[in-house]
Chain A
Amino acid sequence: MAKEKRPKIVSYIAYGRIIGTIFSLFMIFAPSVKRLGDFVPMGLGILLTLQFISCIGLLHMKRWGVHLLIIVATCKLLFQLSLDIVSFNQIMSLLFSITYTSILAFHYKKMDTNL
């Protein structure tokens, strides 16, 4: 399968999320997150790592990148709901995720199905 040229919007989304993920990693160490439970920083860290991996998939125009991004966004929401830490920031983040996903869905057909 010939490699499809990556649309600029996909690059912006992927790079934006990578930078966001790296800065969000500091959240794992936040005292407020640590106070929620011994395994909460671990859960949050795993979600952020998967988000980072999904962005690499997007940069390579892979469909699994979109799938992983949707799964991570859903898991993040469920995680926050289970811990009862849904705030304005989280709702905004969810809205962003929905927007990203809609944009990515538009370019989905151009993406590669392989790993």
Chain B
Amino acid sequence: MVLTLLKESIVFAWQALVSNKLRTFLSLLGITIGIFAIITVFTIVDSLERNIRGSVQSLGDNVVYVMKWPWDFGPGYPWWKYMNRPVPAYKELEEVKRKTKGAEVVAFRIGSRKVLKHLNNTVENGIVSGWSYDYNQIKTFDIVDGRYFREDEAEGGYNVAILGNAIAEGLFPNNEYPIGKTIKVAGRTCKVIGLFKKEGESMLGNSMDNQIVVPFNFARLFMDVKSENNDPFIAVKAKPNVTNVQLKEELTGVMRSIRGLKPLADDDFALNETNLLSKNFDGMFDAIGIAGAIIGGFSILVGGFGIANIMFVSVRERTNIIGIQKSLGAKNYFILAQFLFEAVFLSLLGGIIGLLLIYLLTLFAGDSIDMEITLTRSNVILGLTISVLIGIISGFIPAYGASQLDPVEAIRTN
């Protein structure tokens, strides 16, 4: 009985929408634009967030970085305090390894932009990273071809290199096989032994695509390890049962003793961890999300008013039909459902079109900006939910008004 009534309500609503195609299209356009605006913002924010979190995660969750500058980019950053600090030195690496009980892996990294050459092909400003052997246990990456350098190659400063995807494409165009070939790194000959998997653009700029990794003892031949320009740092990975807080406390003591700091002297080093970066980005993404929600929310609200308006017109136009239906025994809830379904249909259709447009946009945008932009399940659910709810909210008042009409007066209406 209820199902039959529901079916009849849906059929009535569908007929009303089909008989006024232009009006239907114009009224659902408001919701389409609203859903498109709000879900596009959420999709972009989610994709950027995912990209940044992925980049941050590749730096390691349980890793503390001993650096010169702290990762705290809030207002009032006292840069003048940090300017005269020394950069972490390679000789400190051994002492940190020896003294830090909570450390599982300690590694050193240095890097700067250099010119890379292979025959007539040149890559300007390729990021050359010099890693101590253990750095592969700190940074997550995939090698698709070849291998990582051996410990003896790292210790002996062998001239071997692992190329990022973009570097390999620049130096070896036309799908030339790079493994085993020699290239010039800052004027020095170097043998290619591996190829990193393509990662795509990274918002933090730490994608392996634009990097070439060589052993630290080879990199120090053409990079000044004491220069801040080469961004040297020590990375310390905590043992499984050691928290970052415990590791930082221990490292503070170790670094202070290595540098011979007096008890009252300030630290002349920074201990950074990836959650500091995440915290900075959380606030930014929340602000963008809220701004997007307000802008999109108002668009949807306007779309909702459009639907409410069209529903009032619809009720007015069909008042005498409502009267006939009621006089033939139609219940109030049948009339209510009929108009409510019409409003929900309109709104849902608008929402679905909006979501389809976003899906098409993600397909084109993903190709053009080399970053994965995906319309997530949660955003699809949110888009559909908003559409249905706006349909109900904007359609309920006219629908309820229609259901309350007196059949005699309704039939008399022209």
Task: Please determine whether chains A and B interact with each other in the same assembly.
Answer: yes
Interface residues of A (CB under 8 A from B): 22, 25-26, 28-32, 34, 38-39, 41-42, 45-46, 48-49, 52-53, 56, 60, 114-115
Interface centre among A30, A49, A60 (most CB of B within 10 A): A49
A26 contacts which chain B residues (CB < 8 A)? 293-294, 297
A19 to chain B, nearest CB (A): 12
- Inter-chain contacts of A31 with B (CB < 8 A): 285-286, 289-290, 293
Docked-complex contact B404 and A60, CB < 8 angstroms: yes
Which of A29, A38, A39, A46 has most chain B Cβ within 10 Å? Answer: A29
Q: Are A49 and B389 in contact (CB under 8 A)?
A: yes
CA distance A103 to B400 in the complex (A): 25
Of all chain B residues, which has the CB nearest A48? B389
B373–chain A nearest beta-carbon distance, Å: 17
Q: Which of B296, B333, B393 contacts A29 (CB 8 A)?
A: B296
Whether the pair B400, A56 counts as a contact (CB closer than 8 A) is: yes
Query: What are 6 residue pairs bridging A and B, where the CB atoms are less than 8 Å apart in the complex?
Result: A26-B294, A31-B289, A39-B381, A42-B381, A52-B393, A60-B400
Q: A42-B385, A60-B400 are in contact. Are A49 and B392 (CB under 8 A)?
A: yes
B293 partner residues in chain A, CB cutoff 8 A: 26, 29-31
A1 to chain B, nearest CB (A): 13
Indicate if the CB atoms of A56 and B297 lie closer than 8 Å. Answer: no
Given contacts A29-B38, A34-B378, A41-B385, contact A49 B289 (CB under 8 A): no
Interface residues of B in 385-399 (CB under 8 A from A): 385-386, 389, 392-393, 396-397
CB contacts (< 8 Å) of A60 on chain B: these are: 400, 404
CB distance from A75 to the nearest CB of B (A): 15
Chain B residue nearest in CB terms to A38? B378
Name the CB-closest residue of A to B384: A42
Q: Please report which residues of chain B, range 292-334, place their CB below 8 angstroms from some CB of chain A when the two chains form the complex.
A: 292-294, 296-297, 301, 332-333
Q: Which residues of B contact A53 (CB under 8 A)?
A: 392, 396
Q: Are A46 and B389 in contact (CB under 8 A)?
A: yes
Shortest beta-carbon contacts, A-B, top 5: A29-B293, A31-B289, A38-B378, A42-B385, A45-B389
A34 and B400 form a contact (CB under 8 A)? no
| B304 shortest CB reach to chain A, Å | 9
Given contacts A52-B396, A60-B400, contact A115 B332 (CB under 8 A): yes
B386 touches A45 (CB 8 A): yes
Give bound CA distance, A39 to B384, whole Å.
11
* A115 neighbours in B (Cβ, 8 Å): 332-333, 336, 403
Question: Which chain A residues lie closer than 8 Å to B332 at the CB level?
Answer: 114-115
A97 to chain B, nearest CB (A): 20
Complex: A115 Cα to B290 Cα, angstroms: 38
Q: How far is the CB of A114 from chain B (nearest CB, A)?
A: 8
Complex CA gap A38/B378 in Å reads 5
Q: In the complex, what distance in Å separates the CA atom of A95 from the CA atom of B365?
A: 49
